[in-house]
Structure 1
Amino acid sequence: MPTSHTLRINVVPPFDLDVVLGGHGWVALAPHEYQRERRRLHSAVDLSTLAGGRGPVVDIELRPGPKNDVLSAVVSGRRALERAQLELVRRALTKTLSLELDLNPFWRRCSKVPRLRWVADQGAGRLMCSPTLFEDLLKLLMTTNCSWANTKSMVRRTTEALGRRAPSGRRAFPGARTCAAQPESFWRDEIRTGYRAAHCKALAEGFSSGELPERLDPALPTAELRRRLLALPGFGPYAVGQALRLLGHFDDLALDSWVRKRAAQLHGLTPGDDRAIAARYQDFERYAGLALWMDMIADVPVDQL
C-alpha cells in the first residue's frame, strides 16, 4: 500500500490556484490532470530528476485551503518518504506555482489600469512551470509550428514512453538523462516530433551533460539569457520569449501570430505593427511581456491557450 504524507505550503494573498493554473496551457499537458470543479491538481513527480539520478516517483494531489492562504499537498510513495525527499517535493511545487516570485510591483502597476485591475485583485501573473527547466524547454519545443492538439499528443507520448510510474500508475515526465539515451529516430518515429527530433535529442544531451543548466542561469541579465536561448536548436524568438517568462524574465513580448492578432484587436492597432504593441506596454518596463500576456488571457479558456 502507498504511504501518504501531507505538506502544507503557505502562500501570500492575493493567491488563487485556479488563476495560476489558468495562466497558460501547461496544466493541460501530461502528467497533470486538473479537476476544476473539485479544485484538485493531480500529478506525478520523478524525484530522481531533482536529486542527481536517485529517488522514487510520487503522486501528488494539490488543493487550496478555504481562505486561499495555504495549499495542501498529499504526497504518496510506495514507501515512507524521507524528510529530504519531502523537501524536494515542496521545492518542486514552489517552483511549479511560481510562489517564489514577488509580483507586488507588477500588481501595483496593474491596479492603475482599469482593464488590468483584475490582475492585481486576483494575484494573477504567476505562471505554471515544470519542476525542471529541461521539462519546460522540451515542452516548449513541442509547441512550435504545430497545433495545441499536436503539442498535447507529443508530450503525452513522451511521458507514456519514458516516464516512470507513480503508485497510482500515473507516469511522471522523464528526466534529461532518460531522454538523452534515446536515438533521434525515437523522437521522430515514436514521439512523432517531425523536424524537432534532432532538437529534442540535442536539448536532452545538453541538460544530461550539465552544460545547459550552467549556461541557462535564471540570474543572468535578460539580454544574455535571450542570446543563449536563441542558440538552442529549434528555439526562435517566440519560444525564447515564452521560456524567458517561465524563467521569471517578463520584459520580452513573445509575439506570435495569435498574440499579434489579439493585441491589434484589443488596442485598435494595425495587425503586425510590433512597435505599436510594444509602445502600449512600455510603461510596464520589465513586466511588459507579462502585462501583455494578462491582456491576452483575460477572457480565454485555458484549453485554448
Structure 2
Amino acid sequence: MLDEVGRWLQRRSWRAADRPLESLLAAKRRTGSTVSVVLPALDEQDTVGEIVSVIRRELAGRSAPLVDELVVMDSGSTDRTAEVAARAGARVVHRDAVLPRLPARPGKGEVMWRSLLVTGGDIVCFVDADLREFSADFVSGIVGPLLTDPQLQLVKAMYDRPLHDSPGGGGRVTELVARPLINLHWPRLAGFVQPLGGEYAARRQLLERLPFPVGYGVELGLLVDALELAGLDALAQVDVGVRHHRHQDGQALGRMATAICATAERRLPRAGAALPGALSLTQFERAAGADAGAPGSFVPRTHTLGTEERPPVRTLPEYAPRAA
C-alpha cells in the first residue's frame, strides 16, 4: 500500500505554478468546459467580499475568463454576508430558496449539495468563505488539472495551515481524527495532505452521483465516496501555498470531530447502518463564578449534531432537466 501511495503522490501531486493561467484558458477553450465557483458561507462578512473580488478581478474578467459563474451559498447568515458578497459581484443564493419542499438542515454540506441545483458549470469548485490573504491560486490551481487531464475527476488543494508558531498547526482535527481514520480504513487515500480542506474542484458528473453529509463530515465523505466510485488515479492534489483563516476553539473542534467520525462510521461495513440521523455530544463548561473543584462547578452542554446525508442530486426530480 505504501508503494501505491508513493506512486500516486508522484503522478497526482502538483504545484499551482505548474499550469500557468494562459494554458488553462487555452484548455478551457479547447474543451468547451464551464467552471462554477461556490462559496458556502455562514456569517463571513469580514472575508467573503475580498474573496469574491479577487476571483472576479483575476479569473472572471475579459482578459482571464476562467470562471463562468460565482455563487455564494448563504447558509442562514445573521450578519451582512449576503450584502457584502452581492456588492462584491457574486450571485448570492440563500439555502432556503433552493428545493423549498425539503426543509434545510444546518451545515456546510447541506448548502454544497443544494448548490448543484443552482449552478451549471461542468466543473464545480468549492472555496471556504473564511479565508484571509486569499490568492486566486486556490481556484485556478485546483481547476487546472481538470481542464488539462480528462482522466481526473476530483482535485483537492494542499497547503500549510499556520497556527501560532507552527506552520502546520492549524489542522488539528485532520491530524487527530481524519488522518488516523483514513490510514486505518482507507489507506489508499493516505497521500492527501489536506483531506478535510474546504478547497477542491470536481466534475459535475461525479458530484451529482455522490451523497452529501449535511455537516462537517462532507469533505471526508466526498473523498471516500469518490475513491470508491472513480478510483484513486482519478483523484489529485495541488499545492497552493498557505491557507490563512480563523481557527475554532476546542469545543467547536470536538463537534467537528464527532461529525467526521459519524461520516466515517457510515462507510464502514456493519457499522454505519445503526447510526441515527442526529447524534448528541455532551461537552462541559465551568459555571460562571464557580470555584475550581467545587461541586457542580462544571455544567454539561449537549449539542445535537446533524449527521444525516442527502442523496445524490441526480436522484431528485428537480435535477432531472439539468442531468439530461
Fold match, TM over 0.5?
Answer: no
TM-score range, shorter chain: under 0.3
**TM, length-normalised to structure 1:** 0.25
Larger helix fraction of residues:
1
